[in-house]
Amino acid sequence: MGAFIAQVWQLLVGALTFDAAQLGAALAAPLQTNPYTAVILTIALLAGISELLGDSVVWFVNRVRPTRLVVSLALEGVLVVVKLFFWAFTIWLVARALYATERALGDIFLAVCLGSAPFVFGVFIFLPYLGQGLRWLLSVYSWLLTVLLVALELQFGVVPAIVCTLGGWLLIQIASAVLTRPRELFQDWAWRKTTGAPPLVAFDAQLEELTRRLQGDARAQPKT
Amino acid sequence: MSEFWNLLWLPLCIGGAVFVLVAALAPLEALTWWAGWSSQPAPDTPLPTVSARADLASAYVVYLSGVAAIDPSGMHPKEKAFLDGLETAMSDTTVVRDVFAYSATNNSLTGERALSRMWQRINALSVKRGKRITDWAGLGLVILRNLTQILVSADSRYGPIFSFGVAKGIAERLQYHGYVFGARAPVILLGYSGGGQVAVGSAPYVAQILRRPVWVIGIGGVYSDDKGILFVEHLYQLTGTRDYTWRLGDICFPGHWRIFPHSAWNRARRQGLVSFINMGPMKHTLKGDYFSRSAKLPDGQTHAAKTIATIAELVAHAQTQAQVASDAKG
């Protein structure tokens, strides 16, 4: 166990410092036989949990009961994995289409998982005001790391790696726009099932309703 | 040089860790209140029913203190004397001074909260501040705690919750002091230092609850690029030439920078919603500040007298504007 934690720590530091030699070694073998697979997935898990905690404001805003938090956290965790997988899939698609690579999707998934390493600091997104800037910083940090990892994984230069990651991102934006309604329906359904709270309501709408009620109360005061 | 860093790195690390800890805890008060997890009355608790009074004031000024505030009822004597002077100068105006700007639930630091005993002790020492280093450390802790609440107010995720809570507190205290919903009397939020940001942040919600425009007067106010500024009737910013603190907003908040012309702050400036009023050689705090009764301007007027006279003039102006708007509505 101690050795595993040491491996996680070592690879995490390597990822955060863009240590190409160490990262290249970690991604050298295919997913099934890669001795680093568990280490990389643990890093992605830590980053995912940290980012979720940083984003926990959504639970407070929507008044989720504390007892439902764990279930909600688990679902959000699954969604984080789905997002990573989808990004890996789009990178794989672009790489195949433009550069005719033969690398398996699973291997690129590993690279993308490791690329999320900077989000181990994601919990600090919770910090007031500074957290918002930090989110951008971590996103850029994570993207740059993913570019390096894709370049190492596919034995590309920097430019094709940038094309693949940006191309993948673009595909996600297109899919997201096309599938907005089904995505919202699924999110609402998952939210209700896991949190037990009413469907997600925009904060502004909540405030408007609240203000209306307060005004109603205030108007009811007796005049002398 | 390396010895210098050896001496410095430990205090820097400890300071950074304390800041991160205090900042990380800062949004929890507003968030747990909103989520219904705190012992404070829930956000949808109705405003208390208060009988309307016949002796309505012609204007209501709500004072929001600076970042050194601990408890509005135990204000620093200099600040209290300034507000007394303000009340005397504007006899037909009610000055509401029992709103604690740095809490979404108007719960002062000495109120019902986990560390209230510690804050009470610091508050008791604050009057004889300057005697011992521990007094200053206590003050530093208060400033750090309240500063992180300003960051909460400035944050687009937490700010609306925090500001709505402050606005609700303001509406409650206004009612308590005789304000009648729908009254013609203008409401002016008077924010000193960080209280300026809290005033601007909560102004849209105060206006929404009262259904009346809200004016903001900042005494050396420090502002983020809060969208609330676009909803104030006008922001009057009093600035002393020896006050450098209010400029922190221009440095720390990117929305003030010219490279972001579409930020709320820059749009408000272009729309003429912000006026700067030069108060002469006044400082932000301590001797020679806006509330000082000993420091005098070249014309012999004390700083406090000049600040009071300027605010009274602005309040009178707001009254006229409110009257005109009301008459135009019929």
Domain boundaries, chain B: 61-107+159-329
Give residue A224's pLDDT: 36
Question: Residues B19-32: what's their mean pLDDT?
Answer: 92
Give residue A69's pLDDT: 72
- How confident is the model over A49-61, as pLDDT tens digits? 899 888 887 777 7
Closest by CA position to A114, among listed A223, A5, A41, A175:
A41
The verdict on a CB contact (< 8 Å) between A222 and B209 is: no
Measure Cα distances from A31 to A36, A63, A80, B195, B276 in Å. Answer: 9, 41, 19, 56, 63
Sign of CA dihedral A180, A184, A185, A189: positive
Tokens of A20: 């190409």
The verdict on a CB contact (< 8 Å) between B43 and A203 is: no
More confident residue, B277 or A186: B277
Q: Which of A25-29, A86-90, B238-242 has the highest mean pLDDT?
A: B238-242
Closest by CA position to A215, among listed B176, B181, B232:
B181
Nearest neighbour of B52 by CB, restricted to A124, A203, A221 = A221
Whether A153 shows a pLDDT value over 80: the answer reads yes
Whether B324 shows a pLDDT value over 90: the answer reads no
Write the CB contacts of B327 (distance below 8 Å, at least 6 apart in sequence).
none
Whether B181 shows a pLDDT value over 70: the answer reads yes
Q: Show residues of chain B in contact with A195, CB under 8 Å.
A: none
Q: Show residues of chain A in contact with B154, CB under 8 Å.
A: 128-129
The H or E element containing residue B136 is helix B133-154
Q: Which long-range contacts (CB under 8 A, 24 or more apart) does B251-259 make?
A: B253/B154, B253/B223, B253/B224, B253/B225, B254/B225, B255/B224, B255/B225, B256/B223, B256/B225
C-alpha–C-alpha distance, residues B170 and B153, integer Å: 15
Residue B239 CA, chain-centre distance (Å), reads 15
Q: Does B55 touch chain A (CB under 8 A)?
A: no
Write the CB contacts of B59 (distance below 8 Å, at least 6 apart in sequence).
B90, B92, B93, B94, B185, B186, B187, B188, B315, B318, B319, B322
Q: Does A64 touch chain B (CB under 8 A)?
A: yes
- The Cβ of residue A115 has, within 10 Å, a number of other Cβ atoms equal to 30
More confident residue, B116 or B312: B312
Question: Residues B163-180: what's their mean pLDDT?
Answer: 93
Nearest neighbour of B181 by CB, restricted to A126, A218, A222 = A218
Q: ipTM above 0.85? A: yes
Chain A: residue whose CA lies nearest to B35? A63
Q: Show residues of chain B in contact with A224, CB under 8 Å.
A: 51-54
The verdict on a CB contact (< 8 Å) between B54 and A210 is: no
Identify the residue among B34, B202, B252 best suited for mutation to test binding to A, counting A beta carbons within 10 A and taking the highest: B34
Residue A221 banded pLDDT, cuts 50, 70, 90: very low
Question: Residues B177-193: what's their mean pLDDT?
Answer: 91
- How confident is the model over A160-201, as pLDDT tens digits? 999 999 888 888 778 767 766 676 677 677 666 666 666 656
Give residue B17's pLDDT: 93
Residues pairing with B216 in the sheet: B189, B235
Give residue B127's pLDDT: 65
Nearest neighbour of B164 by CB, restricted to A59, A207, A215 = A207
Whether A220 shows a pLDDT value over 50: the answer reads no
Nearest neighbour of A63 by CB, restricted to B27, B36, B152 = B36
Q: Show residues of chain B in contact with A127, CB under 8 Å.
A: 20, 23-24, 151
More confident residue, B161 or A178: B161
C-alpha–C-alpha distance, residues A204 and B71, integer Å: 31
Give residue A1's pLDDT: 78
Count CA atoms closer than 13 A to B270's CA, side-chain side: 10
Give residue A180's pLDDT: 64
Identify the residue among A50, A56, A60, A215 best suited for mutation to test binding to B, counting B beta carbons within 10 A and taking the highest: A60
- How confident is the model over A126-149, as pLDDT tens digits? 999 999 899 999 999 999 999 999
Q: What percent of chain B has pLDDT over 70?
A: 95
Give residue B43's pLDDT: 83
From chain B residues 264-293, the ones with a CB under 8 A of any chain A CB are none
Instruction: Tell which CATH architecture fits domain B61-107+159-329.
Output: 3-Layer(aba) Sandwich (3.40)
Residue A215 banded pLDDT, cuts 50, 70, 90: low
Region of B27 please: left (phi>0), alpha (psi -120 to 50) or beta. Answer: alpha
C-alpha–C-alpha distance, residues A161 and A150, integer Å: 6
Task: Tell me how far apart the 2 most distant CA atoms of chain A are, in Å.
Answer: 83
Q: Show residues of chain B in contact with A218, CB under 8 Å.
A: 47, 171, 175, 181, 209
The verdict on a CB contact (< 8 Å) between B181 and A219 is: yes
- How confident is the model over B43-92, as pLDDT tens digits? 888 887 766 665 688 999 999 999 999 999 888 889 999 999 999 999 99
Give residue A61's pLDDT: 74
Contact present, B236 and B275 (Cβ < 8 Å):
yes
Whether B129 shows a pLDDT value over 60: the answer reads no
The verdict on a CB contact (< 8 Å) between A224 and B157 is: no
Give counts: helices (H), strands (E), chain A: 10, 0
Nearest neighbour of A211 by CB, restricted to B155, B161, B209 = B209
Tokens of B190: 């008077």
Q: What percent of chain B has pLDDT over 90?
A: 68
Contact present, B220 and B290 (Cβ < 8 Å):
yes
The H or E element containing residue B321 is helix B303-329
C-alpha–C-alpha distance, residues B206 and B215, integer Å: 10
Contact present, A102 and B1 (Cβ < 8 Å):
no
A95 is a domain residue: yes
Q: Show residues of chain A in contact with B181, CB under 8 Å.
A: 215, 218-219, 221
C-alpha–C-alpha distance, residues A153 and A29, integer Å: 10
Give residue A222's pLDDT: 37
C-alpha–C-alpha distance, residues A191 and B279, integer Å: 54
Q: Does A61 touch chain B (CB under 8 A)?
A: yes
Give residue A168's pLDDT: 80
A224 is a domain residue: no
Identify the residue among A61, A125, A129 best suited for mutation to test binding to B, counting B beta carbons within 10 A and taking the highest: A129
* Total residue count of chain B as it appears in this document: 330
Share the mean pLDDT of chain A: 83
Question: Residues B208-234: what's their mean pLDDT?
Answer: 94
Q: Show residues of chain B in contact with A132, CB under 8 Å.
A: 155-157
- Lowest mean per-residue pLDDT among A209-218, B27-36, B164-173: A209-218
Q: Does A129 touch chain B (CB under 8 A)?
A: yes
C-alpha–C-alpha distance, residues B250 and B91, integer Å: 36
The separation between the first and the last C-alpha atoms of chain A, rounded to the nearest angstrom, is 75
- How confident is the model over A94-137, as pLDDT tens digits? 999 998 888 889 999 999 999 999 999 999 999 999 998 999 99
Domain count, chain A: 1
Tokens of A220: 């009811």
Residue B128 banded pLDDT, cuts 50, 70, 90: low
Minimal Cα–Cα distance from A73 to chain B, Å? 17
The H or E element containing residue B187 is strand B187-192
Domain that residue A170 falls in:
2-219
**Torsions phi, psi of B78, nearest 5?**
-65, -40
Give the DSSP letter of residue B212.
S
Measure Cα distances from B97 to A153, B91, B118, B172, B215 in Å. Answer: 64, 15, 23, 12, 16
C-alpha–C-alpha distance, residues B66 and B192, integer Å: 5
Give residue B10's pLDDT: 86
Give residue B168's pLDDT: 93
More confident residue, B8 or B256: B256
Measure Cα distances from A90 to A45, A87, B106 in Å. Answer: 21, 5, 50
Minimal Cα–Cα distance from B300 to chain A, Å? 43
